[in-house]
Structure formats: C-alpha cells, structure tokens
C-alpha cells in the first residue's frame, strides 16, 4: 500500500491498533486502516481512537487473518453483535475492506457501496492497484526478504504505468 501510494503521489495515512467509534454501532478495531487523498490529513498517524461521528470513516480497512479468517470474511458471525464483519464496516461508512488470508497467501477484497459489498479484483479506492499483484508479493515474501519483495512490487507498479 505505502509503496503504491508513494509512487502514485497519493496522500495516505495508515493507522494500526486504532479503535473506530460511531454512535449506535459496535466499535471496530481493524488491523490496519488507511485514509486517502483529502482524508489523509484529517487523522494523525498514531491516533488511538477515532470518533466517526466527528471524522470520516477510513477509505480502506485491512484485516490480517491468521486464525480469524471466518470472522473476517463474515462467514462466521461476530459473537458480540451477531453481525457480519463486513456489515460492521458498511455501517461505519468504510469504502473498501480487505482480508489477508496469511495461510493461503490470498487477499479477499470487497468494495462496500449501496448497502452491500461486492468482491473486487482491483481496488476502487486506489485505481490501478491490482489485488493479484499484492497476492503474488505476499507469496514471494515467504521465499525472499522484504527489500526484495518491495523492489519487485515497485517494478510491477512502474510497469503498469508504462502501459
């Protein structure tokens, strides 16, 4: 994400271990959340709690699923509220929701709109960011170091610009 936004000149602020709070909706604590473009400067990195009654929802949330894949995909119901995880993010106003399946090196991405979600192969909030390229990088990260994966990703993103 950070490489892509930096290369494309897209302002972004990434947050981890952040609680998103909105009146009448269960709190959410995604593994990572991103504010993009004009929203990137409204929330400071390191913010612990974001009041969504006052600020906009993040453009993208990402759940890293090691043992929580079924919950993160919404197949299994969240125990606290009997709501699907994707429904929670829909209620909070998030535009895009990704689940990173660590065991299978897979990224399941959803665009959230019109009171529902649909599976996507290319990011809607970051046009040109193809999910398959990220999955390939995730798979490569098991065999080569982060610097090499980063260099490979940069070359892939730059190749896209050449077309």
Three-state DSSP string of the chain: CHHHHHHHCCCEEEEECCEEEECCEEEECCCEEEEEHHHHHCCCCCCCEEECCCCCCCCEEEEEECCCHHHHHCCCCCCCCCCCHHHHHHHHCCCEEEEEECCCCEEEEEEEECCEEEEECECCCCCCCEHHHHHHHHHHCCCCCHHHHHHHHHHHHHHHHHC
Domains of the chain by residue range: 2-132
| Amino acid 81: pLDDT | 39
Q: What is the mean pLDDT of residues 2-9?
A: 92
Give me the CATH code for the 2-132 domain, please.
3.90.1570.10
Q: What is the mean pLDDT of residues 57-73?
A: 76
In tens, the pLDDT along 73-132 reads 554 333 333 345 667 888 899 999 999 998 889 999 999 877 778 899 999 999 999 999
């Amino acid at each position: 994400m950070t490489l892509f936004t930096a290369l494309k000149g897209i302002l972004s602020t990434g947050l981890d271990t952040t609680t998103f709070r909105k009146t009448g909706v269960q709190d959410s604590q995604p593994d990572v959340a991103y504010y993009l473009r004009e929203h990137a400067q409204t929330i400071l990195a390191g913010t612990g709690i974001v009041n969504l009654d006052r600020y906009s929802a993040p453009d993208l949330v990402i759940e890293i699923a090691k043992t929580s894949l079924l919950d993160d995909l919404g197949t299994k119901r969240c125990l606290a509220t009997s709501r699907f995880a994707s429904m929670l993010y829909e209620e909070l106003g998030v535009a895009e929701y990704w689940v990173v399946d660590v065991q299978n090196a897979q990224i399941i991405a959803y665009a959230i709109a019109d009171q529902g979600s649909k599976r996507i192969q290319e990011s809607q909030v970051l046009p040109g960011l193809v999910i398959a390229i990220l999955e390939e990088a995730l798979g490569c990260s098991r065999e080569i170091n982060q610097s090499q994966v980063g260099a490979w990703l940069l070359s892939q993103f730059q190749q896209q610009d050449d077309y």
